[in-house]
Amino acid sequence: MSSLVMPAPDAATLARRAEIVADLRMIVPGEGVVDAVNQMRAFESDGLTAYRQLPLVVVLPQTTSQVSRILKYCHERNIRVVPRGAGTSLSGGALPLEDGVLLVMSRFSRILGIDYPNRAVTAQPGVTNLGITHAVEAEGFYYAPDPSSQIACSIGGNVAENSGGVHCLKYGLTANNLLGIEMVLMNGEVVRLGGKHLDAEGYDLLGVMTGSEGLLGVVTEVTVRILQKPEIARALLIGFPTNEQGGQCVADIIGAGIIPGGMEMMDLPAIHAAEDFVQAGYPLDCEALLIVELDGPAVEVDHLIGKVEKIALNNGSTSCRISQNEEERLTFWAGRKAAFPAVGRISPDYYCMDGTIPRKELPRVLAGMRQLSEHYGLRVANVFHAGDGNLHPLILYDANVPGELDKAESFGADILRLCVKVGGVLTGEHGVGVEKRDLMPEMFTQADLDQQMRVKCAFDPGHLLNPGKMFPQLRRCAELGRMHIHRGQMPFPDIPRF
Ligand SMILES: Cc1cc2nc3c(=O)[nH]c(=O)nc-3n(C[C@H](O)[C@H](O)[C@H](O)COP(=O)(O)OP(=O)(O)OC[C@H]3O[C@@H](n4cnc5c(N)ncnc54)[C@H](O)[C@@H]3O)c2cc1C
């Protein structure tokens, strides 16, 4: 593991490991408890593979009642718990703790109900994102939020990370498509939030849970909205001589009142890597490539294609292809969807960042990134959810070269600082996790963080659920509101801080 500091393991919990494993086997019999080191290796990391840690024990429950009993057991004995879905988090949200139970939700893999009149699907949290679409596509429906990891990531993980994807510009993130959940609190209590109806009474606790990164409760059931497939979808592939022109075109399309089904941009290194990998027919003589997808009734789509073409020309586009059939549309997307593995072929390692900026700041941020790239001596390739202003710079490095991982991390941190400086935010969709935890003070004041911590304390006052993630300091709930630094002296010096 690099320089990441996590909460110190609790010696008493480590000493009781055999007893804890035996007790958990009573709750989840059969193969649901994994304690052999070689079998736990599969769980030591998530998508942020720079960090690894074996958990105390892995538990794979199958029912809400088992989850409730596990959490109650851990609550009563002060044992930490890290929830995990499919383990594709790119921010280390599912990174295990040495003294923590890793609660893996992958055996919750059933679709529980499809309700076409209410346009809703109820699923267990371990169902994959794409699994929901597969369950309803024969009837002409789909689930709109589409992270690139949708073939693998779980819908429970999507709720915890408020995941997004190409189609979220028009159809919203997970938060906008989630209708209800069942969840278990750290004390074992089972709670239902929302349902199939559109609005819930009382405070928006469903909103609080969405994006809570496994710190507030464990999601055991999810109800999402499904949409009818649009009549037609067509894509434009537009090349620009500069990133600035591509960025301005994005702003002008939105400014003209057009909300494409998806609008993605790639810079030169990403275009070349993607084209070498999938031969999607991308133009190689442009600096920026924009894919704009328009969906809806055929007449409307044809009309909007004409408008987008004109806007692109006004911004100096040098090439523009329009998909003539479904196969061609999918080919346009193939390169973008494979951009991450494509970049993986041109560098031994890459570090994927996830910041969001106001769209108009794109040229300034790209110029800043170029300077940082020179400063750190590391290359960077960019793919963006351009319509949302969500950037995914991929920093290329070689972990076998001493110091390069640290350099890549510092470079990434500087990019995120730049995003915040221009009025953006630290994360678009990958979450804070451990990756951006220590950068939270760049964006939030201590008062902001205290308020967020109060929400955490209302759900989990003992800090047992996924500690060490999201918050840059572990602070006792009782301490909140009384933090005064006097002449540089930190109060409560005995409290672990990381
Ligand atoms: C190649 C690749 C491409 C990706 N592309 C995208 C993208 O386009 N958009 C995007 O948004 N993300 C993307 N991701 C990130 C990742 O897939 C998402 O964050 C996803 O939602 C994580 O789901 P998961 O099931 O793998 O969760 P995990 O990685 O297992 O966990 C993620 C977080 O959710 C918590 N969690 C998981 N399940 C539960 C539960 N049932 N209850 C409570 N907490 C839970 C964990 O504690 C952790 O904090 C990508 C990842 C990869 C590897």
86-129: pLDDT as tens digits: 999 999 999 999 999 999 999 999 999 999 999 999 999 999 99
Q: Is 430 close to ligand 1, i.e. is its CB under 6 Å away? A: yes
Q: Are residues 245 and 325 in the same domain?
A: yes
Locate the ligand 1 atom nearest the alpha carbon of residue 46 and give its number: 29
Residues 268 and 313 in one domain: yes
Is the CB of 165 within 6 Å of ligand 1? yes
- Choose the final residue of a domain: 376, 404, 434: 434
Q: Verify whether ligand 1 is closer than 6 Å to residue 146 (CB atom).
A: no
H helix intervals, 377-445: 404-421, 440-443
pLDDT of residue 135: 98
Compute the Cα dihedral for 48, 54, 56, 59 and give only its sign: positive
More confident residue, 102 or 399: 102
- 278: domain CATH number is 3.30.70.3450
Would you say residue 482 has pLDDT above 80? no
Query: Are the C-beta atoms of 224 and 179 separated by less than 8 Å?
Result: yes
Q: Are strands 218-225 and 227-228 parallel, antiparallel or unpaired?
A: unpaired
Q: In which band, very low, low, confident or very high, does the pLDDT at 363 lie, cut at 50, 70 and 90?
A: confident
The verdict on 241 and 309 lying in the same domain is yes
Does any ligand 1 atom lie closer than 6 A to the CB of residue 261? no
Secondary structure of residue 103 in the 3-state scheme: strand
- 168 phi/psi in degrees, rounded to 5: -75, -20
Verify that 325 and 243 share a domain, yes or no. yes
The three-state (H, E, C) secondary structure of 169-211, written as one string: HHHCCHHHHEEEEEEECCCCCEEEEECCCCCCCCCCHHHHHCC
My answer on whether 260 and 369 are in the same domain is no
Residue 205 lies in a domain: yes
Decide: helix, strand or coil at residue 452.
helix
Claim: this prediction has a pTM higher than 0.85 = yes
**Are 16 and 92 in a shared domain?**
yes
Q: Which strands make up the sheet holding 111-115, listed edge to edge? A: 111-115, 120-123, 218-225, 178-184, 190-194
Pair 118, 138 in one domain = yes
pLDDT score recorded for residue 295: 97
C-alpha 209: how far from chain center: 14
Hey, how many other C-beta atoms are within 10 angstroms of the C-beta on 330? 14
Between CA 332 and CA 326 the distance in angstroms is 10
Distance 429 CA to ligand 1 centre (A): 9
Please answer whether residues 411 and 418 qualify as being in contact, where contact means their C-beta atoms are separated by less than 8 angstroms: no
Rg, Å, the chain Cα set: 23
- Does 163 contact ligand 1 (Cβ within 6 A)? yes
Task: Name the residue with the closest Cα to ligand 1, atom 18.
Answer: 89
What total number of domains does the chain contain? 4
**Ligand 1 contact via 214 beta carbon (within 6 Å):** yes
**Position 307: which residue type?**
K
Asked if residue 242 is part of any domain, the answer here is yes
303 is in which domain, residue-wise?
232-340
DSSP class of residue 8? P
Give residue-wise pLDDT tens across range 206-240: 999 999 999 999 999 999 999 999 999 999 999 99
- Sorted by sequence, the CB contacts under 8 Å of residue 226 that are 6+ apart come out as 119, 120, 121, 132, 136, 141, 142, 143
pLDDT beyond 60 at 498: no
**Shared-domain flag, residues 365 and 279:** no
Angstrom distance (rounded) from CA 469 to CA 491: 22
- Say whether pLDDT at 495 is over 90: no
Amino acid at 446: Q
Question: Which of 376, 409, 434 is at the close of a domain?
Answer: 434
Among 151-155, 161-165, 440-444, 478-482, the minimum mean pLDDT is found in: 478-482
Distance of alpha carbon 83 from alpha carbon 219, whole angstroms: 9
Cβ–ligand 1 contact at 428 (below 6 Å): no
User: Do 207 and 244 lie in a common domain?
Assistant: no
In a domain, 308, yes or no: yes
Q: Is residue 331 located within the same domain as residue 246?
A: yes
Specify whether 362 is located in the same domain as 400.
Answer: yes
**DSSP assigned state of 92:** -
Residue 496 lies in a domain: no
Give the pLDDT score at 487. 47
Q: State the average pLDDT over residues 330-338.
A: 91
Residue with CA closest to ligand 1 atom 14: 149
Please give the average per-residue pLDDT across 55-82, as a whole number. 98
- Where is the domain boundary, 84, 104, 124? 104
Q: Does residue 47's CB lie within 6 angstroms of at least one atom of ligand 1?
A: yes
Which atom of ligand 1 lies at the shortest distance from residue 156's CA? 41
Q: Per residue in 256-283, pLDDT tens?
A: 999 999 999 999 999 999 999 999 999 9
Closest residue CA from atom 28 of ligand 1 = 87
Measured CA to CA, the distance from residue 320 to residue 246 in angstroms comes to 12
Q: Is 86 in the pocket of ligand 1 (CB under 6 A)?
A: yes
Q: How far is the CA of 86 from the centre of ligand 1 (A)?
A: 7
Asked whether residue 82 carries a pLDDT value surpassing 70, the answer given is yes
> Is there a single domain that holds both residue 220 and residue 132?
yes
